[in-house]
Each structure stands twice: as structure tokens, then as C-alpha cells.
């Protein structure tokens, strides 16, 4: 059953204070995704381990450099939501954090409705 992740990522500052980095709560749910680097011919299929309105985490054995731009597709209840994205973090042999970039307001609203429905 999906649930809202309450933990958040933090960045430590020189003075020892922690600063919140995530803007959106995450839902732990597997959502089918497809992505390719810009200019590539083939899509790679994967599944999220968590997702928010700002991005997602996908578990994969290979990594892409942070900053890599992606054509990204989310399959929300069988409906395609295409957006641009970028690799925000990568963890060798585990996966990568993906940040959604330039998502339309309509698609952001669709994603938000999907996430809210998953919380019920």
C-alpha cells in the first residue's frame, strides 16, 4: 500500500545547520516509467520506488551523470504523461534521483491528483 514519505533530504551547512532540499512530499509507489537521454533512439523502461510532484527515484543498476537531460514518460494508471527531466542524484548499483523539468501546469495537476488518490 502506498504511503506518504515523511522523511526529507537535508544539506548540512558549515555552521552545522540542516537545510531542507525537497519541496514536495514523496509517495512510495511503483510507477512504470520510460526515459531516454536527449537525442537517443531507444527508451529505457524502469519503475519508481517513490515519486512526488518534483521528481522520482528509480532503481537501476546503471547510472547516468548528474545533470543528464532526459525525455521522461510516467504511466499513471495506464495514461501517458511525458515531460522533460534531469538526473539529480545517482547512486552506483542502486539508482538515480530524477527531477522533473518544465512540466506543464496541466500535467502537474494530473500528477498531483494521482498522488493524492494514492494517499487515500
Decide: pTM greater than 0.85.
no
pLDDT in tens, 70-87: 999 999 999 999 999 999
Domains, the chain, ranges and CATH? 26-118 (2.40.10.220)
Share of the chain above pLDDT 90, in %: 62
Tell me the β-bridge partners of 95.
59, 91
In 13-68, where do the E strands start and end? 18-20, 26-28, 32-37, 44-51, 55-59
Residues 6+ apart with CB under 8 A from 47: 30, 31, 32, 33, 58, 59
pLDDT in tens, 90-116: 888 889 999 999 999 999 999 999 999
Residue 49 backbone phi and psi in degrees, to 5: -100, -25
> What's the confidence (pLDDT) of residue 19?
43
Weakest mean pLDDT among 11-15, 50-54, 77-81: 11-15
For 84, which DSSP code?
Answer: E
d(CA 34, CA 75): 8
Amino acid at each position: 500500500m502506498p504511503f506518504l514519505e515523511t522523511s526529507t533530504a537535508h544539506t548540512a551547512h558549515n555552521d552545522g545547520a540542516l537545510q531542507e532540499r525537497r519541496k514536495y512530499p514523496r509517495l512510495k509507489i511503483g510507477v512504470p516509467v520510460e526515459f531516454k537521454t536527449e537525442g537517443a533512439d531507444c527508451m529505457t523502461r524502469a519503475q519508481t520506488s517513490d515519486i512526488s510532484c518534483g521528481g522520482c527515484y528509480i532503481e537501476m543498476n546503471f547510472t547516468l551523470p548528474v545533470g543528464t537531460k532526459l525525455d521522461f514518460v510516467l504511466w499513471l494508471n495506464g495514461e501517458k504523461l511525458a515531460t522533460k527531466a534531469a538526473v539529480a542524484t545517482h547512486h552506483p548499483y542502486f539508482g538515480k534521483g530524477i527531477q522533473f523539468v518544465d512540466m506543464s501546469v496541466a500535467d502537474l495537476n494530473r500528477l498531483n491528483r494521482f498522488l493524492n488518490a494514492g494517499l487515500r
